[in-house]
Amino acid sequence: MQARVVESMEDAKQAVPPEPRRVLPAGMLKLSLGFLLLGVGVGLSAFGLFLARHSEAVAAAAPALFRPCVGAPEEEEALERWIRPPARARHAMADEELLWLASFAPRARGRSGGYPFRRVPKVAFMFLAHGPLPLAPLWERFFRGNEGRYSIYVHTMPLYRANFTSDSVFYRRQIPSKNVEWGQMTMCDAERRLLANALLDISNEWFVLVSESCIPLFDFNTTYQYFQNSSQSFVMSIDDPGRDGRGRYNLNMAPEVELEQWRKGWQWFQVDRELAVAIVGDTVYYPKFKEFCRPGCYADEHYIQTMLTIEVTHRLANRTVTWVDWSRGGPNAAHPATFGRGDITEEFLRGIREGGACMYNDQNSTMCFLFARKFAPSALEPLLELAPTVLGFG
């Protein structure tokens, strides 16, 4: 019965005649086509009029709308902007932002294994000072004629404003600074701040920490070549078992820093770019020192020395190239000797320059110090007089 019903329904569908198609009259079709062509023509005319009236604006916007392919001149300009050092040292970055930016290091190299542009390595001189630079005239003579091979950064107390003239090498080289307390972690903060600012210049290859009481002992070219030819960085790092060495260690430093890894040394370091990046990018040892290297610890004598010894001991010469005299104050002196006008003689300066004994690139050398401290402002005049004949510049 069900099968018969289905067959009857199929027969009914076939019995219904198909609905005839509706065809527009020929006149109506021609009229619609005419309106369509008229609309397209009006649209094209309006667009042409717009281009005629706004051609200059369109041309100006074109570079922004259509980016050039790789290798076009604009790409070279972008590279130039990336490698160009900041025109002045001041900026509005907070320390956290600065350290983050400075910790970037290029991994890829050019075809020759170096940088994909002409790069002249520079030495960054980082002045850690309270305020004025009384020995600046001597440094001006030292730097004279060597533009393009050095850069300068000055960290002072925040309220101090230097008044160097526009023809000075120190003009606009003062970086954003914070208060520094002797023997506190803020001293290391200042050192990292100086390093970070100097790392923003991709051409800086060596980073030299000096103070306002430091003097150069050789001409610039000799100093420059000493760094460029060195296979190691210069950081004094010793294991002192006494009260002023291991005696300052805090057990809370472990496990990041064990007692046998604790090191001590003078703060005046000279490091290459790779080690400078490691210092500003450190997030392992810095928090430990900040929390547990409290008064009586003297963080500037331990933090960088310990951290680099743990991480890259083979990269360190285990000495500094800054000469300091601790003999006048005895074995427990808190500050080194200061030299004034009456101390500055040719014999005194030559003794510092030539009287050392050290290793340089695995070879014995008597040229161990490139800088010396501490020199009082009264020493400036005799230093300027002796610089041409003894120091080799001026």
For 366-389, how does the pLDDT look when each residue is reduced to its tens digit (9 = 90+)? 999 999 999 999 999 999 999 999
Predicted confidence at residue 304, as pLDDT, reads 98
Question: Which contacts qualify for 94-100: CB closer than 8 Å, 24 or more apart?
Answer: 95/178, 95/189, 95/193, 95/196, 98/193, 98/196, 98/197, 99/192, 99/196, 99/280, 99/281
Poorest-pLDDT segment among 42-46, 138-142, 202-206, 232-236: 42-46
pTM score, whole prediction = 0.79
Q: What is the pLDDT of residues 292-346, one digit of tens each?
A: 998 889 999 999 999 999 999 999 999 999 999 988 765 556 788 999 999 999 9
pLDDT average, residue stretch 69-74: 50
pLDDT at 37: 55
CA distance 120 to 150: 10
Averaged pLDDT for residues 49-55: 46
CB–CB of 279/196 below 8 Å?
Answer: no
Instruction: Give per-residue pLDDT as tens, 257-283.
Output: 999 999 999 999 999 999 999 999 999
Query: What SS3 state is found at 233?
Result: strand
Residues 131-166 as b or e (16 or more Cβ within 10 Å = b) = eebbbbbbbbbbbeebeebbbbbbbbeeeeebebee
Q: Cα dihedral sign for 378, 339, 150, 366?
A: positive
Left if phi > 0, otherwise alpha if psi is -120 to 50, otherwise beta: which for 362? left
User: pLDDT category, 5, cuts 50, 70, 90?
Assistant: very low
Q: Confidence band (pLDDT; 50, 70, 90) for 44?
A: low
The two structure tokens encoding residue 301: 């004598």
Which residues partner with 123 through β-bridges?
Answer: 150, 206
pLDDT band at 365 (very low <50, low <70, confident <90, very high): very high
What CATH number matches the domain at 87-104+119-320, 3.30.70, 3.40.50, 3.90.550, 3.30.1490? Answer: 3.90.550
Task: With beta carbons less than 8 A apart as the criterion, state whether 269 and 211 touch.
Answer: no
- At residue 64 the predicted structure's pLDDT band, cuts being 50, 70 and 90, is very low
pLDDT digit string, tens, across residues 123-133? 999 999 999 99
